Structure 1
Amino acid sequence: MSADSHPTLPPVRLHSDAELARDALGAPLFARAVRLARWAGPDTRVGVGGELATAQLPEAAAVLGLDTDDADSPGYASQAWRVAVDTGLVDVTEPEEDGADGAEGDEERFGTAAPGEDLALVTGGAPGDVLDLWLAALDTVLADAAVPDLDDLVDALDAGGEIDFDRLDWNPGREADFLDGVLANLYLLTVTEGGAADEPVPLPVLAASMVVPDDMGEPTDAVLEQVSDAMMRLDDQFRQLEPIGLVEFRPVDEELMAEADGTPEPEHASTGRGEDGEDGRPVADDEDVSRYGMVRLTPLGLYGIRARMLEAGVDAPAVGELAEKGADALLDAVSFYSENAAQAEIEQWLAGREQPAAAAELLAAARGDDEGGPLRRLRCQQALAPAGPEAEPAVRSVLDDPELGGLARVWLAERGVSDVPAPDPEMVFWLTVDTIAAQLAADGETEELPLLMETLTAHHAGFFEQVWRVEHPATAYVLEAMGRLHPDRKAAKEARKAAFKARSRRPA
């Protein structure tokens, strides 16, 4: 899975390992693999690649409780056996080479199989052991899903019965990268605040995310045809991924495919672009968009895709993983989280600590005149918001601190403390700059920011005549933003003049 697409992702809320392990054991394909591993024994025969002998597939299907009259049952049994072998749930001994032990050269040879050592982990291992086995199974299923379907393989046979890979136009690496990219986009849609969350994502949206260029306005007919082709590939692939517990999937409506002679017309379903998808979600036109397929990652799927991303070097944080780290690591990390995600992470960090010590550690970590300082202090203020009276001594201890004194006064005032010393003008101006810098860093130039600017400057006559002198690394940057965003035109003009002065006084 590529680490280049989304180098830093929003934090994901994962279920506990115990819950995820139960989900893994309940995934139909994994459960079948476990059952076949327990069934394997001295009479089990395997081929050269460790595959189950064809003659034993009906028995394996019966062991799995599959309908032996169903033509698909042997294929399901074969797939479950392959997962069992690849995960180490089954150990196979492949057949010996021709001529060994005096065997007849024309005689078909078989190897043997037995339950593997890892099978004991299913019932006797820790949840993490079960999840490791499931991840190995997922690798097998993803590899299978990237292989062309049987009809495509048959169409690509040459006169000699060999597969013509040029005609098939199949590149294993390219197909694997495509599927990884789709799953990465689905993960991003799920974990991004305001995105899909627990809602299913329409297949056209995922297909378009892989096909339609970001800078394209209205997709061309040729691009829409590529989206349709990608949808059909994904329909087949998600059907294969659902049994391992990665996704919940509603396939493309069979009647819809029949109506379109096997390929749904892309213009009927929005790709989530332009007017239809300001939030990246589709809008149905004449037909229910769900007919084009809907997919969502399960909690186990979120865990699995994140694990693959971490292995590829992608920064894919999870809420709660900072609970044992120091306040400096906490504030640095949550500075880039959404407010809700930051709050969830902070709550878990605070849960295992005494309030006085936690408050002191947070305040110490919030100091700094670096570029990230304002946002660290904003998150520190957020972290201290639920603290009770036990934190008051730590907060009072920084009242004279030039960087934290304003924060401390706000915290004490919100709790109705009466003996809080008034801040000097220099601290007021510094806190104003720091607050706006933090908001810009957290959310950018939002619609609410001009009102905040107006509120912070309204109570100070001659604000812009004084603020440009504030010794804060973001003074000029904040004043330039105020010059663009302040709702009062006269104040905005004064802010631009003050920004010029602030730039002039700072060394190049």
Structure 2
Amino acid sequence: MSADSHPTLPPVRLRSDAELARDALGAPLFARAVRLARWAGPGTRVGVGGELAVDQLPEAAAVLGLDPADEDGDGYASQAWRVAVDTGLVDVTEPEDDNGEGDEERFGTAAPGEDLALVTSGAPGDVLDLWLAALDTVLADAAVPDLDDLVDALDAGGEIDFDRLDWNPGREADFLDGVLANLYLLTVTEHGAADGPIPLPVLAASMVVPDDMGEPTDAVLEQVSDAMMRLDDQFRQLEPIGLVEFRPVDEELMAEADGPLEPGTGGGAGGAGAVDDEDVSRYGMVRLTPLGLYGIRARMLEAGVDAPAVGELAEKGADALLDAVSFYSESSAQAEIEQWLAGRELPAAAAELLAAARGDDEGGPLRRLRCQQALAPAGPEAEPAVRSVLDDPELGGLARVWLAERGMRDVPAPDAEMVFWLTVDTIAAQLAADGETEELPLLMETLTAHHTGFFEQVWRVEHPATAYVLEAMGRLHPDKKAAKEARKAAFKARSRRPA
């Protein structure tokens, strides 16, 4: 069965826009940008690029409540100002060009921008748009080497020698985007790391170590170490905008290291050893915040990546719902289905779901499995819709199971053809949903144990997945004799179907 129609990423559960907007306004860097935008006025002087005049940085730092003794205060103020300008919270008028005729430094002016009003009077979506613009600025800054590296790379003419710096802006931005995409995937993947922070070495290795590599070489481990230190610097810059919660690499660990940082080696070169959770955390830990999940997903969508979110199907039809949740995890599918049902009258919703579950295409079995999941909590209100499909060759078995589980009366017994068809459909759905799991052989044994001559008859079932299911049973059925019979039946099923 093909997996080409699977969503690129698992669905993410997002907070409401109102909650996310509050988180955005509370992000330290964004809050500083807002405060500086309100401070801007007739006396504010800016340079050619819209940056604050150097002698105004201490005043801006004071406005932000930064300690005058903090040597980084001017840097924090400069960064917050740049975010304010880039997001439109501040409008700047750059100085007029004097054509090089004057020696006196010229300055432009700044004033609160029109978008500043959106912070207090705009909708949550307006605030989030401003925050996303701020995020773009911070991500661009995070992809730039630190100041010491830039100074070292200046040539005799005062220009940056990119070859000497070994820095490619596009490559560095792509690297950071890839790291954040991997962090997003680790966060949203079920049974992944959604409930805890991700060790920095894991992220670094995800970008450096080839998937088919067994034991990493010393050269690859050194690349992982270099990537860790790059990420340590970048996540320090990304935390103030509210994208991540970050525990940096332990500075004592770096001081103790006599070579590349490699978890499990005490900081030196050599083979990796076992480490406990506390040791791993010393190498840095990072977690996307709920706002960060929103921000990375928004960037992915803009790039054309399929990044679904739970709840976005609530206004769509049952056909779109079942097609989408067919490849969600069971819990994500259940959450999406519950939101879809919440806004509908159950009798009509049940009828719509059943109609959408029909079809002899490849996705049919999984649609019917998700339809069954959607109807599982339904009560008597759904009974008329379910009874209406008792004679349907594709849905009749599902309907009988639903009615029997609720102890309903007058449930007609299925004929043998329907039993066999339902067995094939059920196993095909499980294979499509979860692959060849450890539980599947037991399901196969349970479904075939009570039918004498099952494999002598099932190969004749007019279901598009009959041969595929029988081949799987030939591999997985726990009873060797039954597995052999399944393989023979699969051959017969293949032989009777047109090429």
TM-score, scaled relative to structure 1: 0.94
Per the TM alignment, residue 277 of structure 1 is displaced from its structure 2 partner at its CA by: 21
Q: Percent identity?
A: 93
Give the distance between the partners of 1:474 and 1:280, measured in 2 at CA. 49
CA distance in 2, matches of 1:140, 1:189: 25
CA change 1:203–1:345 in 2 (3 A) is same
Give the whole-Å Cα distance in 2 for the aligned partners of 1:460 and 1:395: 26
Mapped to 1, the partners of 2:137 and 2:303 lie a distance apart of: 17
Structure 1 residue 5, shift from structure 2 partner:
16
Q: Which stretch shows the higher mean deviation, 276-285 or 48-57?
A: 276-285
SS at match of 1:288: helix
Aligned length: 499
- Judging changes above 3 Å, is the alpha-carbon distance between structure 1 residues 280 and 244 closer, same or farther for their aligned structure 2 residues? farther
Alpha-carbon contact 2:6-2:327 (below 8 Å) kept: no
Q: 1:45–1:111: 8 Å Cα contact kept in structure 2?
A: yes
Partners of 1:483 and 1:494 within 8 A in 2: yes
Deviations 1:359-399 (A, max 9, x none): 00000000000000000000000000000100000000000
Distance 1:6 1:53, change over 3 A: farther
Partners of 1:2 and 1:93 in 2: CA distance: 57
Cα contact 1:6–1:314 (8 A) shared by 2: no
Q: Cα deviation per residue 1:412-461 (whole Å; 9 max; x = unaligned)?
A: 00000121000111000000000000000000000000000000000100
CA spacing shift, 1:388–1:282, aligned 2, 3 Å:
farther
Spell out structure 1 runs of 4+ moving beyond 4 A: 1-7, 276-283
Instruction: Write out per-residue CA displacement over residues 60-119 of structure 1, whole angstroms, 9 at most, x where no aligned residue.
Output: 000000012211100000000000000000000000010xxx996111100000000000
Contact 2:459/2:490 (<8 A) preserved? yes
Separation of aligned partners in 2, 1:187 and 1:278: 30
Contact 2:257 2:268 in 1 (8 A): no
Distance change in 2, residues 1:422/1:282 (3 Å): farther
Contact 2:7/2:327 (8 A) holds in 1: no
Give the corresponding residue for 2:91.
91
The residue number in structure 2 matching 1:356 is: 347
In structure 2, relative to structure 1, the CA distance for the partners of 1:48 and 1:2 (3 Å cut) is farther
Root-mean-square deviation over aligned CA pairs: 3.6
In structure 2, relative to structure 1, the CA distance for the partners of 1:96 and 1:4 (3 Å cut) is farther
Return the offset for 1:6.
11
Q: 2:181 aligns with which of 177, 180, 184?
A: 184
Whole-angstrom CA distance in 2 between matches of 1:324 and 1:303:
20
C-alpha contact (below 8 Å) 1:48/1:110 kept by paired residues:
yes
Gap change, CA 1:196 and 1:416, over 3 Å in 2: same
Tell me by how many angstroms 1:280 deviates: 19
* Change over 3 Å in CA distance of 1:2–1:330 after alignment to 2: closer
Give the deviation of 1:263 after TM superposition. Answer: 4.6
1:156, CA displacement in angstroms?
A: 1.5
1:3 positional shift? 18
Rate the CA distance shift 1:88–1:179 in 2: closer, same or farther, 3 A.
same
- Contact residue 205 and residue 282 of structure 1 kept, 8 A: no
Q: CA deviation at 1:495?
A: 0.4
Distance verdict in 2 for CA 1:386–1:2, change over 3 Å: closer
Sort the Cα spacing of 1:277 and 1:199 in 2 relative to 1 into closer, same or farther, 3 A: farther
For residues 272 and 122 of structure 2, what CA distance do their matches in structure 1 show? Answer: 41
Change (3 A) 1:221 1:263: closer
The question of whether the paired residues in 1 share the 8 Å contact of 2:372 and 2:398 is answered with yes
Deviations 1:465-493 (A, max 9, x none): 00000000000000000000000111000
Q: What's the offset of the Cα at 1:158?
A: 2.7
1:209 equivalent among 202, 206, 209: 206
Structure 1: which 5+ residue stretches go unaligned? Answer: 267-271
Which stretch of the first structure deviates more once superposed, 41-50 or 147-156?
147-156
Deviation for aligned residue 1:154: 2.0
| Aligned partner of residue 91 in structure 2, secondary structure | strand
Give the direction of change, closer, same or farther, for the CA distance of 1:279–1:168 in structure 2 (3 Å limit).
closer
| 1:374 to 1:277, Cα distance in 2 relative to 1, 3 A | farther
8 A contact 1:454–1:486 mirrored in 2: yes
- Residue number among 368, 377, 387 corresponding to 2:368 in the alignment: 377
CA offset digits 1:237-262 (Å, max 9, x no partner) = 00000000000000000000111158
Structure 2 unaligned spans of 5+: none
Q: Judging changes above 3 Å, is the alpha-carbon distance between structure 1 residues 189 and 4 closer, same or farther for their aligned structure 2 residues?
A: farther
Q: Is the 8 A contact 2:218 2:269 kept in 1?
A: no
Matched position secondary structure for 1:113: strand
Q: CA deviation at 1:204?
A: 0.1
CA distance in 2, matches of 1:6, 1:493: 32
